[in-house]
Structure 1
Amino acid sequence: MSRRIVEVFNRYAFYGGEEKVADQIAGHLTQDHELLRCGFDSREWMGEGAPGKLSQVRRLFYNGESRERFEAAVREFKPEVAMFHNVYPVGSPSLYHAAQLKGLPVVQYVHNFRPFSVGGSLYLKGKLMPGALKGSFWPEVLNGAWQGSVLKSALMALALKRLRTSGWLDQVKVWVCISEFMRDRFAEAGIDERRLVVLKHAWEPKVVETGMAEEGDGYLFLGRLVEEKGVRVLLEAWERLWKEMGEATPELWIGGEGPLEDEVRAAAAGNPRVRYLGMLAGDEKSRRLRECRALLAPSVWWEPLGLVVYEAYEAGRPVLAAASGGLTETVKDGVTGWLHPAGDVGALVDSVRAMEQIGEEGRSTMGREGRKWLEANTGVEGWKREMALILEKAIEG
Structure 2
Amino acid sequence: MRIMLINSFYAPDIRGGAEYSVKKLAEGLQSRGHTVRVLCTGAYDTEEVIDGIEIVRFKPFGAYKKINIHDVPRWRRLLGHLLDIWNTGNSKRLSQEIKRFAPDVINTNNLYGITPIVWKIAKKLDIRLVHTVRDYYLMCPLVALTCKKTNGRKCANPGYGCQLHRNMNRLHSKYVDCVTAPSALTLSILTDDGFFKSSDKKVIANATDFDISAVKKILSNRVAELDKKTGVLFVYLGTLSEQKGIRWMIDTFRSIENKTCKLYIAGKGDLEDYVAAETSKDNRIEFVGFLNEQQVSQLLQSTDVLLCPSLWEEPFGRVVLDAYKHAMPVICSNMGALTELVEDRKSGFVVEARNCEQLKNRMMYYIEDKNRIIQQAVNSVNQLEKYTIDHQLDEFEKVYET
Q: Using structure 2 for the length normalisation, give the TM-score.
A: 0.83
Q: CA, structure 1 residues 57+385, in 2 after alignment: closer, same or farther (shift >3 Å)?
A: closer
Q: Larger deviation: 205-214 or 176-185? A: 205-214
Answer whether contact 2:180 2:204 (CA < 8 A) is retained: yes
Task: Please name the residue that 2:209 is paired with.
Answer: 204
What CA distance in whole angstroms lies between the structure 1 residues aligned with 2:379 and 2:80? 50
What CA distance in whole angstroms lies between the structure 2 residues aligned with 1:363 and 1:373? 15
**1:315-369 deviation per Cα after TM superposition (whole angstroms, max 9, x unaligned):** 111111112111111111111111110111111111100111231x321221111
Q: Does 1:221 align with 2:236?
A: yes
Task: Please name the residue that 1:182 is paired with.
Answer: 186
CA drift of 1:121 comes to 1.2
CA drift of 1:273 comes to 0.9
Answer whether contact 1:187 1:193 (CA < 8 A) is retained: no
Task: Please name the residue that 1:150 is paired with.
Answer: none
Q: CA, structure 1 residues 174+8, in 2 after alignment: closer, same or farther (shift >3 Å)?
A: same
**1:265-310 deviation per Cα after TM superposition (whole angstroms, max 9, x unaligned):** 1111111111101012233211110121101101111111111110
Match of 2:343, SS? Answer: coil
AA aligned opposite 1:223: G
AA aligned opposite 1:116: M
What CA distance in whole angstroms lies between the structure 2 residues aligned with 1:315 and 1:21? 19
Correspondent of 1:281 among 279, 292, 310 = 292
Task: Please name the residue that 1:15 is paired with.
Answer: 15
Q: CA, structure 1 residues 137+372, in 2 after alignment: closer, same or farther (shift >3 Å)?
A: same
Q: Does 1:97 align with 2:120?
A: yes
What CA distance in whole angstroms lies between the structure 2 residues aligned with 1:57 and 1:353? 46
CA drift of 1:180 comes to 1.3
What CA distance in whole angstroms lies between the structure 2 residues aligned with 1:283 and 1:26? 23
Answer whether contact 1:104 1:171 (CA < 8 A) is retained: no
CA drift of 1:59 comes to 3.5
Match of 1:123, SS? Answer: coil
Answer whether contact 2:176 2:199 (CA < 8 A) is retained: no
Correspondent of 2:312 among 295, 301, 304 = 301
What CA distance in whole angstroms lies between the structure 1 residues aligned with 2:39 and 2:303? 40
Tell me the number of residue pairs that the alignment of Structure 1 and Structure 2 aligns: 362
Q: CA, structure 1 residues 386+290, in 2 after alignment: closer, same or farther (shift >3 Å)?
A: same
Task: Please name the residue that 1:378 is paired with.
Answer: 387
Q: CA, structure 1 residues 259+27, in 2 after alignment: closer, same or farther (shift >3 Å)?
A: same
Match of 2:84, SS? Answer: helix
RMSD between aligned residues: 2.6
Q: Does 1:70 align with 2:94?
A: yes
Match of 2:41, SS? Answer: strand
Match of 2:140, SS? Answer: coil
Correspondent of 1:86 among 81, 93, 110 = 110
Correspondent of 1:352 among 329, 352, 363 = 363
State the percentage of identical aligned residues: 22
CA drift of 1:212 comes to 5.7
Answer whether contact 1:10 1:42 (CA < 8 A) is retained: no
Q: Which runs of 5+ in 2 are unaligned?
A: 45-58, 67-71
CA drift of 1:47 comes to 5.1
User: 1:306-345 alignment to 2 at 5 Å?
Assistant: 306-345=317-356
User: 1:141-180 alignment to 2 at 5 Å?
Assistant: 154=161, 157-165=163-171, 168-180=172-184
CA drift of 1:229 comes to 1.0
Greater share of helix residues, 1 or 2? Answer: 1
User: 1:132-143 alignment to 2 at 5 Å?
Assistant: 137-138=158-159
CA drift of 1:230 comes to 0.9
What CA distance in whole angstroms lies between the structure 1 residues aligned with 2:208 and 2:79? 41
Match of 1:30, SS? Answer: helix
Task: Please name the residue that 1:129 is paired with.
Answer: 154
Q: Which runs of 5+ in 1 are unaligned?
A: 142-153
Match of 1:202, SS? Answer: coil
AA aligned opposite 2:375: T
Match of 2:255, SS? Answer: helix
**1:168-214 deviation per Cα after TM superposition (whole angstroms, max 9, x unaligned):** 32111111111111122122112338622101012221314346674
